[in-house]
């Protein structure tokens, strides 16, 4: 598996709170998964890096699944934003948590909006911005 594919797979499945949760455990299993990938990258051997990327993705997805079984997603933290890797998705999530429009940051006359291209993406938008954008 390519490193970019592994990172994208983990990013798409990531649940806010995972990094903070595993950061409090001994050993930090999330960091261990990253360390294996980083060590493989230092070898500059493509076959080792691709094998490590597959192991990395498998471990991270397992940790995300385990976390999701016993914990609820939390408010997005800085370390979560790095894993998610999508600033717009982070902004959308924060709009729901902090009650503001993703476009103008207004806190008035808000309504939930579902992204028509990705039904898993929900965010808040004010009436004025909705009318301007014809969403």
Enumerate the domain spans of the chain: 3-77, 86-133
Give the up-direction half-sphere exposure of residue 46: CA atoms within 13 A in the CB hemisphere.
1
Note the pLDDT of residue 102.
86
Give the up-direction half-sphere exposure of residue 71: CA atoms within 13 A in the CB hemisphere.
17
Note the pLDDT of residue 76.
67
What are 67's two structure tokens?
């976390």
Q: Mean pLDDT, 10 residues at a time, over the chain (135 residues)?
A: 92 88 91 93 93 95 93 70 70 77 88 79 85 66
Note the pLDDT of residue 114.
83
What is the pTM assigned to this prediction?
A: 0.64
Residue bearing tokens 């909705």: 130
Note the pLDDT of residue 134.
52
Note the pLDDT of residue 135.
46
Note the pLDDT of residue 117.
77
């Amino acid at each position: 598996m390519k490193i970019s594919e592994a990172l994208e797979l983990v990013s798409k499945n990531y649940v806010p709170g995972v990094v903070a949760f595993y950061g409090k455990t001994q050993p930090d299993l999330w960091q261990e998964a990253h360390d294996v990938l980083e060590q493989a990258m230092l070898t500059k051997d493509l076959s080792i890096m691709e094998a490590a990327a597959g192991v990395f993705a498998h471990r991270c997805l397992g940790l995300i699944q385990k976390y999701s079984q016993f914990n609820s997603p939390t408010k997005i933290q800085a370390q979560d934003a790095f894993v998610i890797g999508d600033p717009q998705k982070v902004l959308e999530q924060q709009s729901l948590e902090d009650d503001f429009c993703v476009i103008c940051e207004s806190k008035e006359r808000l309504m939930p909006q579902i992204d028509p291209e990705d039904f898993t993406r929900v965010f808040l938008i004010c009436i004025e911005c909705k009318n301007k954008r014809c969403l």
